[in-house]
Chain A
């Protein structure tokens, strides 16, 4: 379970922070935490399991007495991916006296950045958008930012590519979390990464990506780095394989259907990236959706440019 593993990483780090920030606390105390995230609405395909993970994890922490006599009480609220509800939830959490805040979306993290600073409220967002860290001293990213991940991928492409400068396109979500890494990858390229970014595609809710793929092909794009949520990538992959671009996954293997289903999904030509970490090798393009959040995939040499640092 990759999700679980990832969650564990995030949450252990969270825990360290909490302990670090509340060192003066007495034994047998209950720490209040707040998490506001999208359990319904856009991106709930990630938010829903995330909320369950958080809930289970803190239950685990309390049951296993990882904090000794201390307990963690984490209130989880659905914000439907809406910034104004997130803000309301945050104010509510403040009223309840939380000591640590967990946020979710990039948009709300950026919107509430000032509030975190004013309230001196340590925050870990589920969004690893590098821009979260700009002008803020209370937002923490427990793992590499999206930018760092994207640059890591770019380096992976460069290291494994044979021949002349690889031509790369970026397929991104039309929002801050998709757009954020683009400029950082561009910076890396400017700093000497041997790669050419041919085009940055901000996808919509397209039912068919033929046009986009054909266009990229005609521009000689060899790899596509994706930074977005699951379903657009899935649509694109299907179209890619239809257009004869052989798709290859790396990372987690695509899931199979229930054993009773009459047809099994064949790997790797018809992948459904359930986890967000899938890389596809087309005869030309490589498609890598967002969040290679596994540190093991990040090249050792990698040194993420931390914006603002």
Chain B
């Protein structure tokens, strides 16, 4: 039984990171209806910035994490400013394509640094002891990762529900023209959405970097694996992102725990999320928590 629970716990740990990464997608989608394909690259950038600050500049690690979040915040904001601002009003397909282009551009920029081809790992700053209960163990790194994720997701939900900026972001997602007419600056809201997404991406990058080490390929692949999570959750729901993230995390653990090694199967954790996604989409075309809009004609 402890095997089962260990899988569940590991699944939740991985899943909560998925949720945090998915949050970045949701933030951008909610306000501008754009799916940011380059999010994995932003996550990687956030993680690498944190490493560069601590490993090369020598800033204490906690501060460098915070700094990387701030830097990525502005980085994402300027990405929106430079590349996406002009595309407001263009068809969504071209905006999504721009994010695909951005993905390549950021890839290229990362290859300029050693991060493109060398593995790094964050210095450890948390206790090495394991936290164990009933045969289930979790490391401090993972625990802190989950806690940070929970805090950030909670913070963002609060921000969306209560703060003025959050409310204006929701308004923009609802109706751009109407929000313009009540004096909300739509471009500013888009910029902010990207910026906050960048912030959450940096946090996610930091956590993944601590758990797995900094490898560009892993981080890129992570950015892709988040897609099924986002879609499963329903693109515009923070709650959906959390639930779907944890579902996917647990499913992946179960897949490698129960499927791999039996019946000649291997690496099922990589493909199962997509299969499950397809099946769920057949029954719930808007994900688990996505808004199903009634089409008016």
Touch test A–B (CB under 8 Å): yes
Interface residues of A, Cβ cutoff 8 Å to B:
39-40, 42, 44-45, 47-49, 174, 199-212, 214-215, 218, 230-231, 234-235, 238, 242-244, 257-258, 260-266, 269-270, 272, 274
- Residues of A contacting B139 with CB < 8 Å? 238, 242
Interchain CA distance A269-B61 in the complex, whole Å: 21
Interchain CA distance A205-B217 in the complex, whole Å: 9
Q: Is B269 a contact partner of A206 (Cβ separation < 8 A)?
A: yes
Closest to B214 in A: A231
Question: CB-CB contacts of B127-171 with A at 8 A, as 1s and 0s?
Answer: 010101000011100100000000000000000000000000000
Q: Chain A at the B interface: mostly helix, strand, loop or mixed?
A: loop
Say if the beta carbon of B111 comes within 8 Å of chain A: yes
Say if the beta carbon of B13 comes within 8 Å of chain A: yes
Closest to A78 in B: B111
Q: Is A39 a contact partner of B269 (Cβ separation < 8 A)?
A: no
Closest to B56 in A: A258
- Residues of B contacting A231 with CB < 8 Å? 119, 212-213, 215, 217-218
Apart from A258-B55, A262-B58, 16 more pairs, CB < 8 Å: A39-B117, A45-B118, A48-B117, A205-B218, A205-B222, A207-B211, A210-B7, A211-B253, A231-B215, A231-B218, A234-B121, A243-B137, A244-B130, A262-B123, A263-B125, A272-B119
- Residues of B contacting A261 with CB < 8 Å? 54-55, 58, 123
Say if the beta carbon of B60 comes within 8 Å of chain A: yes
Selected A-B contacts with CB under 8 Å, 28 pairs: A45-B118, A48-B116, A49-B117, A174-B267, A200-B266, A201-B266, A203-B267, A204-B267, A205-B218, A205-B222, A208-B11, A211-B256, A211-B257, A212-B256, A214-B7, A215-B3, A215-B260, A215-B261, A231-B119, A231-B213, A238-B139, A238-B212, A242-B138, A243-B137, A244-B132, A261-B123, A264-B123, A274-B119
Q: Which of B119, B218, B260 contacts A212 (CB 8 A)?
A: B260
Interface hits, B1-38 → A, CB 8 Å = 3, 6-7, 10-11, 13-14, 17
Q: Is A206 a contact partner of B3 (Cβ separation < 8 A)?
A: no
Interchain CA distance A200-B260 in the complex, whole Å: 10
Interface residues of B, Cβ cutoff 8 Å to A:
3, 6-7, 10-11, 13-14, 17, 54-56, 58, 60-61, 111, 116-119, 121, 123-125, 128, 130, 132, 137-139, 142, 208, 211-213, 215, 217-218, 221-222, 225, 252-254, 256-257, 260-261, 266-267, 269-270
Interchain CA distance A260-B130 in the complex, whole Å: 27
Interchain CA distance A266-B123 in the complex, whole Å: 10
Q: Is B58 a contact partner of A214 (Cβ separation < 8 A)?
A: no
Number of A-B contacts (CB under 8 A): 142
Closest chain-A Cβ to B107's Cβ sits at a distance in Å of 8
Q: Is B137 a contact partner of A242 (Cβ separation < 8 A)?
A: yes
Q: Given A40-B117, A230-B215, is A210 in contact with B55 using a C-beta cutoff of 8 Å?
A: no
Q: Is B269 a contact partner of A204 (Cβ separation < 8 A)?
A: yes
Q: Is A45 a contact partner of B121 (Cβ separation < 8 A)?
A: no
Q: Is B266 a contact partner of A202 (Cβ separation < 8 A)?
A: yes
Q: Is B212 a contact partner of A235 (Cβ separation < 8 A)?
A: yes
Closest chain-A Cβ to B31's Cβ sits at a distance in Å of 28
Interchain CA distance A302-B123 in the complex, whole Å: 40
- Residues of A contacting B3 with CB < 8 Å? 214-215, 218
Q: Is B55 a contact partner of A257 (Cβ separation < 8 A)?
A: yes
- Residues of A contacting B111 with CB < 8 Å? 40
Interchain CA distance A207-B252 in the complex, whole Å: 10
Closest chain-A Cβ to B7's Cβ sits at a distance in Å of 5
Closest 5 CB pairs of A and B: A211-B257, A48-B117, A263-B123, A204-B270, A231-B215
